[in-house]
Structure 1
Amino acid sequence: MVFSFFKKGAREKQVLVNQVDICISNIAQHGDDLYDAFENRDDVQLNEFGCTSNCEVCDCHAIAVVNGDIVKADDQQQLIELINESLV
């Protein structure tokens, strides 16, 4: 099994997947446009959480955690734009 990692033909093209974590309460408060923007993208894995442990920011802004970094905006549309800029 170890040798299969070293075969020339065993390499497949890997798609880099960005992790976008969202707080369900925040999405309910600011709208669900985020789902429409990212649900069909192969390079984004959208993870829903009851809480992302960023309550001070989440209470005042639309937020998401993109690859471990907090992205915050005044509204959902601006958040989508900022997430797109943050993706690898």
Structure 2
Amino acid sequence: MTTTTPPRAPIQWIALASIVLSAVSPIAIATGVIRTDAKTERRVDEHDRRIEQLEQQQQPAADKQTQIIDRLARIETKLEMLTPPRSAPHP
């Protein structure tokens, strides 16, 4: 009478592989999330830097526009003082 026993080595190997994959999967997912977050953070930092650079480039133009508007207001005031009111009849 021969007793056949099922091979236990492959079953133990599959169980061990299952345990290892169960432990590695969350680590791999967490690593992917961290890497994605780091990439996003770098992109946001780059965009912030570029926006600040554009704002600095635009500041002189905004200052110049303010000067022009102020000068135009002074010119209009002088012109109004030199010309008769529009409601008065022209000679």
Same fold (TM > 0.5): no
TM-score range, shorter chain: under 0.3
Structure number with greater CO (CA < 8 Å, separation at least 6) is 1
Give the TM-score, by structure 2 length. 0.17
Larger Rg: 2
Q: Select the structure that is richer in helix.
A: 2
Give the TM-score, by structure 1 length. 0.17
